[in-house]
A and B are shown apart, each in its own frame.
Chain A
Amino acid sequence: MKNPTILEARGLSKHFEVKDGFFSRETKTVRAVNDLNFEISKGETLALVGESGCGKTTTTRLLLRLQNPTQGVINFEGKDVHSLTGADLKRFRSRVQAVFQDPWSSINPRVRIRDFVAEPLIVNETLTSGEVDRRVHEALDAVGLGPAHARKYPHEFSGGQRQRIAIASAIVTRPDLVILDEPVSGLDVSIRSQIINLLKDMQQEYGISYILVAHDLATTRYLADKVAVMYLGSIIETGDTDQIFDHPRHPYTEALLSAALPSSPTEKNREIVLKGEIPSPLSPPDGCPFHPRCPKVVGNICSTAFPQLAAETPQVQVGCHIYK
């Protein structure tokens, strides 16, 4: 039994034009995101993982209509997100919420916490002030901050507390889809676990779907039903989380999972250290984007042909010439 698809991306690309050097008038193209295809069902969590700069935040910004794709479409409940207008757009804005990578930058310093948390409610719904207060208190309570904090200003909170405020604001409309860009990275392990439990509870109770960007592999494994591993703007392996964590197939996925730090000083480090520099999306290599650093290159084909994603098991797709 499969839940209905709530969001899907088809052939999604985003390229940025940047100046080539300070004195130059020529521009170069940053291929931040290339031809992504994925979907999320109701009540499901999809995690985007991968090296810094591989295009995760850009992808979430496209989903949220904060940037326009260079190519491709995103459908939410069957409708193209980037051509929504009127009531459909309003509905999208209230049903899809986000917690950004950088909680500081998304919180206006002059706005009281109550008003920050309430903003998505006030913009998208018509409630009395008393109802808004109740919903804000509920949301603050849910993230482990008492209602007493509602009257304070952002600067009065520590980094981790601000992150929880951002989560409270994202859940206050009881949305269908929440995009979480590093939602727990600045939190101590105990609060991190609290928030992760909370996200899971809300998912079970309300059927919320999540798109998660998290560098912490333990968090990813715990929360995500599916993962998409990205490298230089492309998805190079995707599918069922447990299958990929237990048996990574793409050499980059293997290296990534091996780099998880041991959880105690007595544990052995198993890191596969990658050679070379992270390539630049300004001049991505031909063939497989990973080939200049890949310890398992199978031949010329790796530097000449782009390996398309292909099913390795019914639940896992891999883009690597080893598997052809």
Chain B
Amino acid sequence: MNSQTKKPLLEVQDLKVEIKTKVGSFVPVNGHSFSVHEGETIGIVGESGSGKSMTASALMRLLPKHVAKITEGSVRLDGKELLTLSEKQMRKVRGAEISMILQDPQTSLNPAFTVGSQIKEALRLHAPGPRRSLRSRAIDALKAVKVAAPEQRIDAYPGELSGGMRQRVVGAIAISCRPKVIIADEPTTSLDVTVQAQYLRLLRELQEETGMAILFITHDFGIVASLCHRVLVMYAGRIVESGPVGKIFANPAHPYTEALIATVPSLSGNQGRLRTIPGQPPSPAEKIVGCPFAPRCDYADARCRSEAPPTVLANGDSEHTTSCWRAVNQ
């Protein structure tokens, strides 16, 4: 993918989200800037709690009300600023132009309605057509995500489906309206590897057909390696490294990325104890001084502990950035 020649579909600038709770406030999304181009898939990886889902919800303007809000930044979808739209305007964009597959299929499907009625609802809202054909279009959507016996399953309630089937139904709803940008928050975690491989092939085919941009949040480096063009690595609410997949795997520039890749367990037997990254990520309420990774970093020095590292090019490569003092020193 040559990102220079394709047009950017999603441009995010200095995005900041603040969460206020009784115990205090913190910034789970701290100044993200990135863009996703037509036909491109970006992987978002990073520690649990590092703000990946918050970033996704912010882009969709679906942050938990009264708790989290966007305090700064800009999100442009195909040139249109989303953050200044009214809620009514945003509802038209959501599902039709930008759509999200939630991390938790349980919460995105209503247990009281059949899966068919929920898919039809999405189609009715965003891709209206003759009423009669809604049912057959909904069945097609289930077929597309390889749910067996779609003619019967369309009348099933979410509780009658296996975890992996529910997850695919959520995927079917998200792609049924062919959005320009799709944000997928760990959409394959409860799929077995063969169905996962099928699901990823489906996403790729759909992308080739429609040129949609995909933002793929995952913990699975196998998915990153086989699906994504570029990667954003998050740690404690910040993007600490970004670049093309091949370069990040071959030459991780940030010590967190390096440690993360080193902890991926292999499929071969007899591995002894699995490697981990010692220590804990900072708790949200903690005031971070210096680099957020410094307490766990093998390379940290006095400056790392006192001054926040700037975001700079890694190895002078214009496609590859990192926030680490070691890259500054190079």
* B225 pairs with A282, CB closer than 8 A: no
Determine whether the beta carbon of A101 is less than 8 Å from that of B47.
no
Q: Is the CB of A105 within 8 A of B192?
A: no
Quick one: closest B residue to A149, CB to CB?
A: B283
Instruction: Assess whether A187 is in contact with B48, with CB atoms less than 8 Å apart.
Output: yes
A219 to B114, CA, bound (A): 34
**Complex interface: chain B residues within 8 A of A157 (CB):** 49
Q: Which residue of A lies closest to B51 (CB)?
A: A158
Chain A, 276-302, contact with B by CB distance < 8 Å: what is the 0/1 string? Answer: 011111110000000000000000000
B245: chain A residues at CB < 8 Å are: 265
Interface membership of B5, Cβ < 8 A: no
Which one of B189, B220, B263, B273 lies within 8 Å of A190 (CB-CB)? B263
Bound state CA distance, A53 and B195, in angstroms? 10
The verdict on B194 contacting chain A, using a C-beta distance below 8 Å, is: yes
User: At the interface, yes or no: B264 with Cβ under 8 Å from chain A?
Assistant: yes
Q: How far is the CA of A159 from the CA of B106 in the complex (A)?
A: 12
**Contact residues, A160-205 vs B (CB, 8 A):** 160-161, 182, 185-194, 196-197, 200
Please determine whether A261 and B146 come into contact, CB atoms closer than 8 angstroms: no
Are A263 and B274 closer than 8 Å at their CB atoms? no
Q: Note all chain A residues with C-beta closer than 8 A to B48.
A: 158-161, 186-188, 191
The yes or no answer to A90 lying at the interface (CB within 8 A) is no
- Residues in B with CB closer than 8 Å to A186 are 48, 103, 186, 189, 219
- Choose the segment among A19-27, A71-79, A307-315 that binds chain B (4+ C-beta atoms closer than 8 Å): A19-27
Binds B, one of A3-11, A35-43, A44-52, A126-134: A44-52
Chain A residues contacting B276 (CB-CB under 8 Å) are 190-191, 193-194, 197
| Size category, B interface | 35 or more
Q: Is A95 an interface residue (CB 8 A)?
A: no
Partner of A196, one of B45, B114, B220, B274: B274
How far is B271's CA from A219's CA once the two chains are assembled, in angstroms? Answer: 11
A104 CB within 8 Å of chain B: yes
Give per-residue flags for A227-243: 1 if the beta carbon is below 8 A from chain B beta carbons, else 0. Answer: 00000000000000110
Q: Give Cα distance in the complex from A277 to B264, angstroms.
A: 31
Q: Say if the beta carbon of B107 comes within 8 Å of chain A.
A: yes
Q: Which residues of B sit under 8 angstroms from A193, Cβ to Cβ?
A: 263, 265, 274-276
Separation in Å of the B144 CB from the closest CB of chain A?
A: 12
Identify which of residues 81-104 in chain A touch chain B, using a CB-to-CB cut-off of 8 Å.
101-102, 104
A255 surroundings in chain B (CB, below 8 A): 194
Q: Do the beta carbons of B193 and A218 come within 8 Å of each other?
A: no
Tell me whether B265 and A218 are in contact (CB under 8 A). yes
A18 interface residue per 8 A CB criterion = yes
Alpha-carbon separation in the docked complex, A104 to B116 (Å): 24
User: A274 and B194: CB pair below 8 A?
Assistant: yes
- Within the complex, the shortest CB–CB distance from B20 to chain A, in Å, comes to 12
- A155, B264: Cα distance in complex, Å: 28
Query: In residues 220-272 of chain B, which contact A (Cβ within 8 Å)?
Result: 220-223, 225-226, 245-246, 249-250, 259-260, 263-269, 271
Contacts of B219 in A (CB 8 A): 160, 186-189, 192
B196, CB-defined interface residue at 8 Å? yes
Q: Which of B64, B246, B263, B276 has the most CB of A within 10 A?
A: B276
Residue from B191, B263, B280 in contact with A215 in the complex, judged by beta carbons closer than 8 Å: B191
**6 A-B contacts, Cβ less than 8 Å apart?**
A57-B162, A197-B274, A261-B197, A265-B249, A266-B246, A280-B149
Nearest 7 A/B pairs, CB to CB: A261-B222, A160-B48, A52-B164, A280-B149, A193-B274, A280-B148, A259-B193
